[in-house]
Chain A
Amino acid sequence: MTPEQHLTAYILRLGDNALVLGQRMLELVAAYPELEEELANANFALDYIGQARMFYSYAGELEGAGRSEDDFAYFRPEHEFKNLLLVEQPNGHFGDTIVRQVLFDVYYLGLLEALTRCSDQRLAEIAARAEKEVRYHLRHSAQWLVRLGDGTEESHRKAQRSLDGLWRFTGEMFAADALDEAVLASFGGPNLADIAADWQKDISTIVDEATLSIPQETHMASGGKQGMHTEHFGYLVAEMQSLPRTYPGATW
């Protein structure tokens, strides 16, 4: 693969993370018990979808094969999505959703910050725009984790269980594969070892403030970055793609 092909695949992966997390959050639309949180969730979900569109559009241009953002989102099979396992995990209860968001947002914010300094100007610009959105998402999710962890006995117990349950999907974020290394070498991309160190520090701070405990060392699940997903993912893809696949080219 040429450096440009590496970059294209890398940007597609960024788009996959944003799209899949956005799709998960969109499942919660009209399900929130409070109007203001309902709006916040829908806003954030659409921020992620918007980021996916920017990544996919750029990847399509780099690839030069005429594929559009819709082709990437709606007409690829499950195993061609290279998103992290963490972002495809079901919403569960509110604590599960919030823990998933915090674990991802801290990682993603670090990644985007690093990408603003990469040598590919367009990618750096997309990252700079996304970074502002994600900084606010993290403010929101982290505050909620603190409220839940440092809330009632029940919310504390549930939040700790959510953290314990999702922890095994965090290792994959920092396991650099050939693509991560190629983009680091050719384009000054993110160094995942640095991002892991910052993530550990920031997550510890939030978890401490939430009076929760960092889970014990555990077996880390992986495979998402190679297109091997958890059992939940097929349903998400099927629902997300059902309309464009049933009515190709539909507009309204």
Chain B
Amino acid sequence: MSEQVWPLYEVFIRTRGGLSHRHAGSVHAADDQMALDHARDTYTRRSEGVSLWVVRSDRIVASDPAETAAFFEPAEDKIYRHPTFYDIPDGVENL
């Protein structure tokens, strides 16, 4: 048995047509094809989705927690960027 650990992949599932893919979790796999199969076997057992994306976790470029202040705080006092004055019509979901 190899002691090597398979690389980690992040799994994204589109639950039904029209919605976007959402992060569901992660799987280990030896290659891309196996990652897709593992995602299918791990995360869609209860009909959770109609489409899957997998991407190697180390290929994701993430923001640095140390830079949170510069990245995100300037947006906090700019309430005019939030379209809060729209009325959402009844019956509109997923907005």
**Chain A positions near chain B (C-beta within 8 angstroms):** 33-37, 39-40, 43, 136, 139-140, 143, 147
Contacts and interface: CB of A to CB of B under 8 A. Distances in A.
Contacts of A43: 41, 45
B54 to A, nearest CB: 11
B30 interface: yes
27 contacts: A33-B1, A34-B6, A34-B28, A35-B28, A35-B42, A36-B27, A36-B28, A36-B29, A36-B38, A36-B41, A36-B42, A37-B38, A39-B41, A39-B42, A39-B45, A40-B37, A40-B38, A40-B41, A43-B41, A43-B45, A136-B40, A139-B37, A140-B37, A143-B33, A143-B34, A143-B37, A147-B30
Nearest to B33: A143
Nearest to A40: B41
- Prevailing SS type, chain A contact patch: helix
A94 B82 CA distance: 56
Given A36-B38, A40-B37, 6 more contacts: A36-B29, A39-B45, A40-B38, A40-B41, A43-B41, A136-B40
Interface string B17-29: 0000000000111
Interface in B7-60: 27-30, 33-34, 37-38, 40-42, 45
A129 to B, nearest CB: 15
Interface string B44-79: 010000000000000000000000000000000000
A34 B2 CA distance: 11
A72 to B, nearest CB: 27
A39 B44 CA distance: 11
Nearest to B1: A33
